[in-house]
Structure 1
Amino acid sequence: MEIIKLRDDYIKLGQALKAASLVSSGVEAKIVIQDGLVKVNHDVEYQRGKKLYDGDIVDYNGEQIKIVK
């Protein structure tokens, strides 16, 4: 599981995928999110700008990202 430490109160979903190196670009993040391949807290998320807060878990392509403050 990849851990992303927040510098602010939140990070956007597309940015989190890039920060964890699960996608190579914002465009790729947009595509995989729109295709319904990304889950936030076990629910499919279609908004690239979804704000992630402390404790949120992102699932994509068999990998997990945990957001911590």
Structure 2
Amino acid sequence: MEAEEFQIDTEYIQLGQFLKLANIVESGGIVKLFLSEYPVFINGEQDQRRGRKLYHRDLIEIEDVGTYRIITN
């Protein structure tokens, strides 16, 4: 499955911010609950920390949701 590109204008984005801006969760308050229910893999390793920094070319995989790649300008 091809990864959907998600473009950011900064050096990195935190996982919680990404989930909200990518419309995966409705609000920041839901992020913690979402991460407790859905395994999130970043570059093949599971990571549930909402403060995890995502950088250019990082691959985020969420089962039943989608696959995303962070792209910077």
Tell me if 1:11 matches 2:13: yes
Q: How many residues align?
A: 69
TM-score, length basis structure 1: 0.83
TM-score, length basis structure 2: 0.79
Percent identical among aligned pairs is 32
Structure 1 stretch displaced more, 24-33 or 50-59: 24-33
Q: Which runs of 5+ in 1 are unaligned?
A: none
Tell me if 1:31 matches 2:27: no
Instruction: State the superposition RMSD in angstroms.
Output: 1.6
Q: Max radius of gyration: which structure?
A: 2
Runs of 4+ in 1 over 4 A off after TM superposition: none
Q: Which runs of 5+ in 2 are unaligned?
A: none
